[in-house]
Amino acid sequence: MTTPNLLEVRKLSIRFRTDGGFADAVNNVSFSLKEGASLAIVGESGSGKSVTALSLTRLLPEPPAEIVHGDIVFRGEQVLEMDLERLRAIRGGGIAYIFQEPSSSLNPVYSIRSQIAEAIRLHRPEVKDVDSEIVQCLAAVGILKPEQRMRDYPHQLSGGMQQRAMIAMALSCRPALLVADEPTTALDVTIQAQILNELKRVRTQFGMALILITHNIAIIGGLCDQLAVMFRGEIVEYGDTGSVLQNPQHPYTKALISCVPRLGSKEKRLKTIEYDWLQEA
Protein backbone atom coordinates (compact mmCIF):
# COMPACT_ATOMS: atom_id res chain seq x y z
CA MET A 1 0.00 0.00 0.00
CA THR A 2 2.99 2.27 0.01
CA THR A 3 3.65 2.72 -3.69
CA PRO A 4 0.98 4.66 -5.53
CA ASN A 5 -0.84 2.86 -8.27
CA LEU A 6 0.33 3.32 -11.85
CA LEU A 7 -3.21 3.15 -13.13
CA GLU A 8 -6.42 3.39 -11.30
CA VAL A 9 -9.85 3.04 -12.86
CA ARG A 10 -12.78 3.91 -10.65
CA LYS A 11 -16.45 3.34 -11.36
CA LEU A 12 -16.05 3.79 -15.06
CA SER A 13 -19.23 3.67 -17.13
CA ILE A 14 -19.33 3.97 -20.87
CA ARG A 15 -22.28 3.87 -23.19
CA PHE A 16 -22.85 4.14 -26.92
CA ARG A 17 -25.36 6.43 -28.47
CA THR A 18 -27.65 4.72 -30.92
CA ASP A 19 -30.79 6.06 -32.48
CA GLY A 20 -32.93 3.95 -30.28
CA GLY A 21 -31.28 5.51 -27.23
CA PHE A 22 -28.18 4.40 -25.36
CA ALA A 23 -26.49 1.07 -25.13
CA ASP A 24 -24.46 0.51 -22.00
CA ALA A 25 -21.10 -1.01 -22.76
CA VAL A 26 -19.24 -0.69 -19.49
CA ASN A 27 -20.81 -0.40 -16.06
CA ASN A 28 -19.10 0.82 -12.89
CA VAL A 29 -15.82 -0.87 -13.67
CA SER A 30 -12.99 -0.39 -11.18
CA PHE A 31 -9.51 -1.86 -11.09
CA SER A 32 -5.98 -0.76 -10.39
CA LEU A 33 -2.50 -1.64 -11.42
CA LYS A 34 0.91 -1.06 -9.79
CA GLU A 35 4.12 -0.28 -11.67
CA GLY A 36 5.28 -3.41 -13.43
CA ALA A 37 2.20 -5.40 -12.42
CA SER A 38 0.06 -7.36 -14.80
CA LEU A 39 -3.66 -7.82 -15.13
CA ALA A 40 -5.73 -9.99 -17.41
CA ILE A 41 -9.22 -8.90 -18.37
CA VAL A 42 -11.17 -11.92 -19.52
CA GLY A 43 -14.59 -11.98 -21.03
CA GLU A 44 -16.59 -12.91 -24.09
CA SER A 45 -17.03 -10.62 -27.08
CA GLY A 46 -19.31 -7.74 -26.25
CA SER A 47 -18.48 -7.88 -22.55
CA GLY A 48 -16.87 -4.44 -22.72
CA LYS A 49 -13.25 -5.43 -22.24
CA SER A 50 -11.94 -3.84 -25.41
CA VAL A 51 -14.00 -0.72 -24.80
CA THR A 52 -12.46 -0.46 -21.35
CA ALA A 53 -8.98 -0.87 -22.78
CA LEU A 54 -9.46 1.76 -25.49
CA SER A 55 -10.99 4.23 -23.04
CA LEU A 56 -7.76 4.31 -21.01
CA THR A 57 -6.31 6.79 -23.49
CA ARG A 58 -9.68 7.85 -24.88
CA LEU A 59 -9.21 6.10 -28.17
CA LEU A 60 -12.92 5.40 -28.48
CA PRO A 61 -14.59 7.54 -31.11
CA GLU A 62 -16.74 10.01 -29.18
CA PRO A 63 -19.53 10.11 -30.29
CA PRO A 64 -21.00 7.49 -30.50
CA ALA A 65 -19.15 6.45 -27.36
CA GLU A 66 -19.75 8.47 -24.25
CA ILE A 67 -18.07 8.22 -20.87
CA VAL A 68 -20.91 8.61 -18.44
CA HIS A 69 -18.93 8.82 -15.24
CA GLY A 70 -15.88 7.47 -13.52
CA ASP A 71 -12.20 8.26 -13.15
CA ILE A 72 -9.15 7.06 -14.95
CA VAL A 73 -6.00 8.05 -13.10
CA PHE A 74 -2.69 7.37 -14.75
CA ARG A 75 0.44 8.26 -12.74
CA GLY A 76 -1.70 10.50 -10.58
CA GLU A 77 -3.19 12.38 -13.50
CA GLN A 78 -6.83 12.42 -14.47
CA VAL A 79 -6.99 11.07 -18.03
CA LEU A 80 -10.56 12.21 -18.54
CA GLU A 81 -9.59 15.81 -17.82
CA MET A 82 -6.57 15.95 -20.08
CA ASP A 83 -6.47 18.08 -23.20
CA LEU A 84 -5.59 16.46 -26.49
CA GLU A 85 -1.96 17.56 -26.24
CA ARG A 86 -1.41 15.83 -22.90
CA LEU A 87 -3.40 12.82 -24.03
CA ARG A 88 -1.15 12.41 -27.05
CA ALA A 89 1.88 12.27 -24.79
CA ILE A 90 0.26 9.47 -22.78
CA ARG A 91 -0.73 7.55 -25.91
CA GLY A 92 2.25 5.47 -26.88
CA GLY A 93 4.56 7.16 -24.39
CA GLY A 94 2.70 6.15 -21.23
CA ILE A 95 0.27 3.52 -22.39
CA ALA A 96 1.06 1.62 -25.58
CA TYR A 97 -1.26 -0.75 -27.40
CA ILE A 98 -1.08 -3.84 -29.49
CA PHE A 99 -4.21 -4.96 -31.24
CA GLN A 100 -5.91 -8.09 -32.34
CA GLU A 101 -5.42 -8.02 -36.08
CA PRO A 102 -1.74 -7.41 -36.85
CA SER A 103 -2.29 -7.51 -40.61
CA SER A 104 -4.66 -4.56 -40.57
CA SER A 105 -3.14 -2.71 -37.63
CA LEU A 106 -0.03 -1.72 -39.55
CA ASN A 107 -0.32 0.89 -42.26
CA PRO A 108 0.21 -0.94 -45.57
CA VAL A 109 1.91 1.92 -47.39
CA TYR A 110 4.69 2.65 -44.91
CA SER A 111 7.66 0.46 -44.04
CA ILE A 112 8.01 -1.03 -40.56
CA ARG A 113 10.96 1.26 -40.00
CA SER A 114 9.10 4.44 -40.82
CA GLN A 115 6.16 3.43 -38.63
CA ILE A 116 8.38 2.71 -35.65
CA ALA A 117 10.55 5.77 -36.31
CA GLU A 118 7.42 7.90 -36.12
CA ALA A 119 6.77 6.68 -32.60
CA ILE A 120 10.37 7.13 -31.45
CA ARG A 121 10.67 10.67 -32.81
CA LEU A 122 7.45 11.56 -31.09
CA HIS A 123 8.06 10.15 -27.65
CA ARG A 124 11.83 10.00 -27.35
CA PRO A 125 13.20 12.98 -29.23
CA GLU A 126 16.50 12.52 -27.36
CA VAL A 127 17.30 9.36 -29.34
CA LYS A 128 19.96 10.28 -31.91
CA ASP A 129 20.34 7.08 -33.86
CA VAL A 130 16.75 6.13 -34.59
CA ASP A 131 17.66 3.27 -36.88
CA SER A 132 19.78 1.44 -34.34
CA GLU A 133 17.02 1.92 -31.76
CA ILE A 134 14.55 0.32 -34.17
CA VAL A 135 16.93 -2.58 -34.71
CA GLN A 136 17.19 -3.07 -30.95
CA CYS A 137 13.43 -3.08 -30.50
CA LEU A 138 12.92 -5.54 -33.34
CA ALA A 139 15.66 -7.79 -31.97
CA ALA A 140 14.09 -7.65 -28.51
CA VAL A 141 10.90 -9.25 -29.81
CA GLY A 142 12.82 -12.01 -31.56
CA ILE A 143 12.86 -10.78 -35.13
CA LEU A 144 15.85 -12.18 -36.98
CA LYS A 145 17.93 -9.92 -39.24
CA PRO A 146 16.22 -6.78 -37.95
CA GLU A 147 18.33 -4.50 -40.19
CA GLN A 148 16.70 -6.08 -43.22
CA ARG A 149 13.25 -6.68 -41.82
CA MET A 150 12.77 -3.06 -40.82
CA ARG A 151 12.89 -2.04 -44.48
CA ASP A 152 9.99 -4.39 -45.23
CA TYR A 153 6.42 -3.34 -45.69
CA PRO A 154 3.80 -5.01 -43.48
CA HIS A 155 2.49 -7.25 -46.25
CA GLN A 156 5.93 -8.80 -46.62
CA LEU A 157 5.81 -10.20 -43.08
CA SER A 158 3.88 -13.17 -41.73
CA GLY A 159 1.14 -12.66 -39.15
CA GLY A 160 3.40 -13.59 -36.24
CA MET A 161 6.13 -11.27 -37.50
CA GLN A 162 3.62 -8.46 -37.94
CA GLN A 163 2.49 -8.88 -34.35
CA ARG A 164 6.12 -8.86 -33.23
CA ALA A 165 6.61 -5.64 -35.16
CA MET A 166 3.57 -4.21 -33.39
CA ILE A 167 5.07 -5.14 -30.03
CA ALA A 168 8.39 -3.63 -31.09
CA MET A 169 6.60 -0.45 -32.03
CA ALA A 170 4.94 -0.36 -28.62
CA LEU A 171 8.29 -1.01 -26.87
CA SER A 172 10.04 1.69 -28.86
CA CYS A 173 8.15 4.35 -26.90
CA ARG A 174 9.24 2.85 -23.56
CA PRO A 175 5.71 2.88 -22.15
CA ALA A 176 4.97 2.22 -18.49
CA LEU A 177 1.96 0.15 -19.46
CA LEU A 178 1.37 -2.12 -22.40
CA VAL A 179 -2.22 -2.92 -23.28
CA ALA A 180 -2.49 -6.05 -25.40
CA ASP A 181 -5.99 -6.28 -26.82
CA GLU A 182 -6.52 -9.89 -27.89
CA PRO A 183 -2.95 -10.04 -29.21
CA THR A 184 -3.06 -13.68 -30.24
CA THR A 185 -6.64 -14.23 -31.33
CA ALA A 186 -5.89 -13.81 -35.03
CA LEU A 187 -2.82 -16.04 -34.96
CA ASP A 188 -2.10 -19.74 -35.29
CA VAL A 189 -1.89 -21.69 -32.05
CA THR A 190 1.88 -22.26 -32.28
CA ILE A 191 2.48 -18.60 -33.07
CA GLN A 192 0.18 -17.68 -30.17
CA ALA A 193 2.49 -19.40 -27.73
CA GLN A 194 5.54 -17.64 -29.21
CA ILE A 195 3.93 -14.22 -29.02
CA LEU A 196 2.84 -14.80 -25.43
CA ASN A 197 6.39 -15.81 -24.57
CA GLU A 198 7.74 -12.65 -26.21
CA LEU A 199 5.26 -10.59 -24.22
CA LYS A 200 6.32 -12.25 -21.02
CA ARG A 201 10.00 -11.73 -21.79
CA VAL A 202 9.85 -8.08 -22.84
CA ARG A 203 7.65 -7.28 -19.90
CA THR A 204 10.34 -8.32 -17.44
CA GLN A 205 13.13 -6.94 -19.63
CA PHE A 206 11.56 -3.49 -19.94
CA GLY A 207 9.80 -3.56 -16.57
CA MET A 208 6.42 -2.67 -17.99
CA ALA A 209 3.00 -3.18 -16.54
CA LEU A 210 0.70 -5.22 -18.73
CA ILE A 211 -3.00 -5.43 -19.31
CA LEU A 212 -3.90 -8.46 -21.35
CA ILE A 213 -7.37 -8.51 -22.85
CA THR A 214 -8.53 -11.92 -23.95
CA HIS A 215 -11.51 -14.20 -24.21
CA ASN A 216 -9.28 -17.19 -23.70
CA ILE A 217 -8.83 -17.89 -20.01
CA ALA A 218 -6.34 -20.63 -20.84
CA ILE A 219 -3.58 -18.28 -22.01
CA ILE A 220 -3.26 -16.05 -18.96
CA GLY A 221 -1.58 -18.52 -16.63
CA GLY A 222 1.97 -17.47 -15.84
CA LEU A 223 1.56 -14.15 -17.61
CA CYS A 224 -0.69 -12.12 -15.35
CA ASP A 225 -0.69 -11.79 -11.57
CA GLN A 226 -4.21 -10.50 -11.42
CA LEU A 227 -7.40 -11.42 -13.18
CA ALA A 228 -10.61 -9.53 -13.81
CA VAL A 229 -13.55 -11.31 -15.37
CA MET A 230 -15.97 -9.12 -17.30
CA PHE A 231 -19.48 -10.11 -18.13
CA ARG A 232 -22.05 -7.86 -19.78
CA GLY A 233 -20.13 -4.68 -19.05
CA GLU A 234 -19.34 -5.41 -15.43
CA ILE A 235 -16.41 -6.87 -13.59
CA VAL A 236 -17.91 -9.89 -11.90
CA GLU A 237 -14.75 -11.27 -10.38
CA TYR A 238 -11.45 -9.59 -9.58
CA GLY A 239 -8.43 -10.88 -7.70
CA ASP A 240 -5.15 -12.76 -7.84
CA THR A 241 -5.01 -15.06 -10.80
CA GLY A 242 -4.23 -18.13 -8.77
CA SER A 243 -6.98 -17.72 -6.22
CA VAL A 244 -9.61 -16.79 -8.79
CA LEU A 245 -8.80 -19.78 -10.93
CA GLN A 246 -8.71 -22.11 -7.99
CA ASN A 247 -11.69 -20.78 -6.19
CA PRO A 248 -14.01 -18.94 -8.53
CA GLN A 249 -16.95 -17.25 -6.86
CA HIS A 250 -19.13 -16.03 -9.67
CA PRO A 251 -21.03 -18.63 -11.74
CA TYR A 252 -19.82 -17.04 -14.98
CA THR A 253 -16.20 -17.48 -13.95
CA LYS A 254 -16.88 -21.05 -13.00
CA ALA A 255 -18.53 -21.62 -16.35
CA LEU A 256 -15.59 -20.01 -18.16
CA ILE A 257 -13.07 -22.16 -16.37
CA SER A 258 -15.03 -25.33 -16.89
CA CYS A 259 -15.09 -24.62 -20.63
CA VAL A 260 -11.34 -24.97 -20.95
CA PRO A 261 -10.68 -28.49 -22.19
CA ARG A 262 -8.23 -30.44 -20.07
CA LEU A 263 -5.83 -33.07 -21.22
CA GLY A 264 -6.88 -36.48 -19.98
CA SER A 265 -10.36 -35.47 -18.88
CA LYS A 266 -13.00 -38.09 -19.57
CA GLU A 267 -15.82 -35.84 -20.68
CA LYS A 268 -17.50 -36.69 -23.97
CA ARG A 269 -18.59 -33.16 -24.83
CA LEU A 270 -16.91 -29.81 -24.43
CA LYS A 271 -18.78 -27.61 -22.04
CA THR A 272 -20.57 -24.49 -23.20
CA ILE A 273 -21.99 -21.67 -21.17
CA GLU A 274 -25.69 -21.89 -20.35
CA TYR A 275 -26.83 -18.31 -20.41
CA ASP A 276 -30.37 -18.94 -19.24
CA TRP A 277 -29.08 -20.48 -16.13
CA LEU A 278 -26.60 -17.63 -15.63
CA GLN A 279 -29.33 -15.07 -15.90
CA GLU A 280 -31.11 -16.51 -12.93
CA ALA A 281 -27.96 -16.95 -10.90
Partner 1 sequence: MLTFLCRRLMISGVLLFLISIVSFFIITLTPGSPYPWGELNPKITPQVKEAFRKKFHLDRPLIEQYWLNMRDLFSGSLKSIKDDRPVLQRIGERLPATVSLNVLAIFLSLSFGLLLGVYAAKNAGKLPDVLTSILAFVFIALPGFWISNLIVIGLVKFTNAPLLGTQTYGINFPDGLTLWLDRFWHIALPAMVLSIGGVAAQSRFIRASMIETLREDYIRTALAKGLAQETVFYKHALRNSVRPLITGIGGLLPGLIGGSIIIETIFAYPGLGRLGYEAVLERDYPTLVALNFIVAALVLLGNLISDVLYAVVDPRVRLE
Partner 2 sequence: MVTDFQSPPTQPQAAIFSSPGRRVWQRFRHDKVGIAAAAIVALFFVIALVTGLCAWWGIYFPYDPNATDLALKLKPPSLAHWLGTDNLGRDVFSRMLNGSYISLTVGFIAVAVSLFIGVTIGAISGYLGGWADNVIMRVVDAILCFPTFFLILTAVALLGPNIINIIVVIGLVSWTGTARLVRAEFLTLRESEYVRAARTLGQRSLLIIFRHILPNAAAPIIVTAVLGIPEAILTEASLSFLGFGVQPPQATWGNIITDGKTYLLDAWWLIVFPGLAIFAAALSFYLAGDALRQASETRSEKK
Whether the ω angle into residue 63 lies within 30 degrees of 0, i.e. cis, is yes
Q: Pick from 2, 83, 204, 264: which binds partner 2 (CB under 8 A)?
A: 83
Q: How far is the CB of 52 from partner 1 (least distance, A)?
A: 15
Q: How far is the CB of 65 from partner 2 (least distance, A)?
A: 9
Q: How far is the CB of 240 from partner 1 (least distance, A)?
A: 29
Binding to partner 1 in span 90-149, by CB under 8 A: 90-93, 96-97, 99, 101, 104-111, 118-119, 122-123
For partner 1, what does the binding mask look like between residues 162 and 201, x meaning CB under 8 A? ----x--x---x----------------------------
**Angstrom distance (rounded) from CA 78 to CA 72:** 6
Q: Which does 10 bind (CB under 5 to 8 A by kind): partner 1, partner 2, none?
A: none
| Nearest residue (CB) to partner 1, 8 versus 152 | 152
Q: Which residues bind partner 2 (CB under 8 A)?
A: 17-20, 45, 50, 58-59, 61-64, 82-84, 87
